[in-house]
C-alpha cells in the first residue's frame, strides 16, 4: 500500500470505534470535536509532509523489511544517518505545527521493542521478535499511527508494582490463556492516543521476580474492547469552543493527552512482546527512554524556532527590534535552542548497532540532551514573555475586538507601531501565550520537564553512563598517583 495522504489518515481515524471521554461526556465524534481536532491536525501533518518530494528524505525511508518506502515514524533505524534524520524530521514538524505531533513515542517504542525482543528470544527461546516483526510489517504496509504507552499511574512511588495497595496501579497480566493474555491497569499521560490506530504497551520501570506479571509488552488496536480514554484538561483548552482564531493562539494545531484504561483487555499470543521475563523490563525501559530523550533534541527545537520567531515579531510590532537588550535576548534564545539541537544530533551521530541490527543512540548524550531540555525551554519562554510584554496576558478577547462599540477602543489603545494592525499584534501575542502558558505549553514548556522521564531519571542515567571511574584514573595518571 502507498503512503497514506493526510485526508486518508483522517478518514481512517473516523472509522474507528474508540471510547473517548472529555469533561464528563463520551465523545462520539472526536475527529470533528473542536477541542480535539487540532491535535488530529498535528498528526495529519506527518502524513502531508511525507507526500512532498522536498521532504522525502526526512519524512520517509526505505524499509528493508517490506521493500517499500515507509513513513519514518514506522521505520527501524538502519544507520546513524537514520538517527540524525529522525531528529531533523522532528524539528521540521515542530516548525510546521508549533505543537506536539504525537508520533514520536510510537517510533521510539518501535525501535526499543525491536532490539529488546531479539535479545529476550536469545536468552529464553521465546518468539517475541517474530511477533514484533509481523506487527511492524503490518504497520508499515498500512501506514498506521502507533502510540507508545509506558507511564503507569504508579501509586505509592516508594513501593514496587506487586506491593501496591491497588494492584492495577501498574498495568499487569491478570490471566494467561492458551490463546493469549488478559491485562488490567492504565497508562497515564498518553500523548496522541486518541489519534492512533494501535498502541504498544511497555513496562515503566525495571522489575524483579515478584513483579513478573507486570513485565509485559504487547500491541493492540486502540479500539479494542475494554480500552477507554479519559482526555486531560489543558490550560485555555475551552477557548477552542468559542469559535474565534485569535484567542487560541494556534488555531489549527495542538496536542492531547489521556489516561488510557485497560479493563480486562485480551491480547492474542502473536501480539505479545514480553510476558513475565522481568529481567528484560529494565532493558526495554532504558532503550525506549534513550530514544525518546533523543527525540526532544528535535521536536522541542522546532517549536522553539516558532517561539523565537514570534518573540522577534512581537519586538517588531512593539517598535523595539533594534534595542540592544532585545537583540541580546533573542540571541540567547537562539543559542539555547541550537544547543538542544546539537545534543540531539550528537547522540545520533555517536549511535551504535544493536545485536538485533538496528541502531541505538549514545545513551549518555541522549540523557544530557533531555536534561538540557528540562531547563532551556523554560528560559526561552521567560525571555519570550519578557520581550512580548504584559499585554500577552491582559489583552481583551477577540469578541471585544469584533464588537461594534468596543472594537474601536481595542484598535486605538492596543496598537503598537502605526504600520501594523492591532489584530496582527494581538495574534502574535496570543501565539506566545499559547506556547508558553496555554494548551501548547503542554507540548513545549511543561512537557520539556516531565516528558521522557523526570529530570532525576536522566541524572541517574548520566551517573550510570558517565564512567566516573575512568575519569578518576585519568586524573591519577596525569598526577602520577600510584595506589
The per-residue pLDDT for range 230-246, each reduced to its tens digit, is 999 999 999 999 999 99
pLDDT of residue 441: 78
Choose the catalytic residue: 120, 299, 347, 369. Answer: 299
191 part of the active site: yes
257 part of the active site: yes
Task: Kindly indicate the confidence band of residue 179, based on its pLDDT and cuts at 50, 70 and 90.
Answer: very high
* pLDDT tens digits along 358-380: 999 999 999 999 999 999 999 99
Domains of the chain, each with CATH number or no CATH: 6-278 (2.40.110.10), 283-473 (1.20.140.10)
* pLDDT tens digits along 25-74: 999 999 999 999 999 999 999 999 999 999 999 999 999 999 999 999 99
Strand 172-177 and strand 258-268: the pairing is unpaired
Choose the catalytic residue: 80, 120, 292, 347. Answer: 292
Q: Global pTM?
A: 0.97
Residue whose C-alpha is closest to residue 206's, from 170, 238, 242, 241: 170
Choose the catalytic residue: 100, 120, 343, 369. Answer: 100
Choose the catalytic residue: 74, 80, 126, 191. Answer: 191
55 part of the active site: no
In this model, does residue 216 exceed pLDDT 70?
yes
Percentages helix, strand, coil for the chain (3-state, rounded to 5) are: 55, 15, 30
pLDDT, mean over the chain: 97
pLDDT of residue 250: 97
* pLDDT tens digits along 449-469: 999 998 999 999 999 999 999
292 part of the active site: yes
pLDDT of residue 310: 98
In this model, does residue 129 exceed pLDDT 80?
yes
296 part of the active site: yes
Choose the catalytic residue: 47, 60, 77, 257. Answer: 257
* pLDDT tens digits along 386-398: 999 999 999 999 9
In this model, does residue 318 exceed pLDDT 70?
yes
In this model, does residue 354 exceed pLDDT 90?
yes
pLDDT of residue 185: 98
436 part of the active site: no
Report the C-alpha gap between 190 and 213 in whole angstroms.
Answer: 22
**In what order do the strands lie in the sheet containing 146-149?**
146-149, 198-201, 216-221, 272-275
CA distances from 41 to 108, 131, 325, 394 (A): 21, 31, 37, 29
Half-sphere exposure (Cβ direction) of 7: Cα atoms closer than 13 Å: 0
**Where in 131-257 does DSSP place strands (E)?**
146-149, 172-177, 180-187, 198-201, 216-221, 227-231
Task: Kindly indicate the confidence band of residue 1, based on its pLDDT and cuts at 50, 70 and 90.
Answer: low
Geometric angle at alpha carbon 75, from 70 and 76, rounded to 5° = 145
Amino acid at each position: 500500500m502507498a503512503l497514506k495522504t493526510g485526508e486518508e489518515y483522517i478518514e481512517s481515524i473516523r472509522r474507528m470505534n474508540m471510547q473517548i471521554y472529555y469533561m464528563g461526556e463520551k465523545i462520539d465524534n472526536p475527529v470533528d470535536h473542536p477541542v480535539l481536532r487540532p491535535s488530529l491536525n498535528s498528526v495529519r501533518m506527518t502524513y502531508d509532509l511525507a507526500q512532498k518530494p522536498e521532504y522525502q528524505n526526512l519524512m520517509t525511508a526505505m524499509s528493508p523489511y517490506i521493500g517499500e518506502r515507509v513513513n519514518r515514524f514506522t521505520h527501524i533505524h538502519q544507520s546513524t544517518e537514520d538517527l540524525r534524520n529522525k531528529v531533523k524530521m522532528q524539528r521540521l514538524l515542530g516548525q510546521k505545527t508549533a505543537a506536539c505531533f504525537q508520533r514520536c513515542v510510537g517510533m521510539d517504542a518501535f525501535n526499543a521493542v525491536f532490539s529488546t525482543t531479539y535479545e529476550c528470544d536469545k536468552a529464553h527461546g521465546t518468539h517475541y521478535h517474530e511477533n514484533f516483526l509481523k506487527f511492524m510489517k503490518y504497520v508499515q504496509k498500512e501506514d498506521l499511527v502507533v502510540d507508545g504507552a509506558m507511564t503507569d499511574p504508579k501509586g505509592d512511588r516508594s513501593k514496587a508494582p506487586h506491593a501496591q495497595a491497588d494492584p492495577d496501579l501498574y498495568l499487569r497480566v491478570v490471566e494467561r490463556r492458551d490463546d493469549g493474555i488478559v491485562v488490567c491497569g492504565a497508562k497515564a499521560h498518553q500523548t496522541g492516543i486518541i489519534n492512533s490506530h494501535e498502541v504498544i504497551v511497555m513496562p515503566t520501570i525495571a522489575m524483579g521476580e515478584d513483579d513478573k506479571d507486570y513485565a509485559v509488552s504487547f500491541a493492540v488496536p486502540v479500539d479494542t474492547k475494554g480500552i477507554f480514554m479519559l482526555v486531560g484538561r489543558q490550560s485555555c483548552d475551552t477557548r477552542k469552543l468559542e469559535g474565534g482564531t485569535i484567542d487560541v493562539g494556534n488555531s489549527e494545531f495542538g496536542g492531547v493527552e489521556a489516561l488510557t484504561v485497560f479493563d480486562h483487555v485480551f491480547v492474542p499470543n502473536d501480539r505479545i512482546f514480553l510476558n513475565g521475563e522481568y529481567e528484560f523490563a529494565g532493558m526495554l525501559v532504558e532503550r525506549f527512554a534513550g530514544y525518546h530523550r533523543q527525540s526532544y533534541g528535535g521536536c522541542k527545537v522546532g517549536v522553539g524556532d516558532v517561539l523565537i520567531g514570534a518573540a522577534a515579531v512581537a519586538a517588531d510590532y512593539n517598535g523595539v527590534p533594534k534595542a540592544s537588550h532585545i537583540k541580546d535576548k533573542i540571541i540567547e534564545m537562539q543559542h539555547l535552542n541550537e544547543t538542544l539541537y546539537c545534543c540531539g544530533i550528537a547522540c545520533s551521530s555517536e549511535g551504535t548497532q544493536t545485536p538485533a541490527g538496528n541502531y541505538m543512540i549514545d545513551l549518555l548524550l541522549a540523557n544530557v540532551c533531555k536534561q538540557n531540555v528540562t531547563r532551556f525551554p523554560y528560559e526561552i519562554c521567560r525571555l519570550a514573555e519578557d520581550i512580548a510584554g504584559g499585554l500577552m496576558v491582559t489583552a481583551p478577547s477577540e469578541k471585544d475586538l469584533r464588537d461594534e462599540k468596543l472594537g474601536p477602543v481595542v484598535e486605538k489603545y492596543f496598537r503598537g507601531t502605526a504600520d501594523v494592525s492591532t489584530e496582527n499584534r494581538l495574534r502574535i501575542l496570543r501565539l506566545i501565550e499559547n506556547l508558553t502558558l496555554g494548551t501548547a505549553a503542554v507540548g513545549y514548556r511543561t512537557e520539556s520537564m516531565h516528558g521522557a522521564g523526570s529530570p532525576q531519571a536522566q541524572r541517574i542515567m548520566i551517573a550510570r553512563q558517565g564512567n566516573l571511574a575512568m575519569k578518576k584514573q585519568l586524573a591519577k595518571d596525569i598526577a602520577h598517583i600510584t595506589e
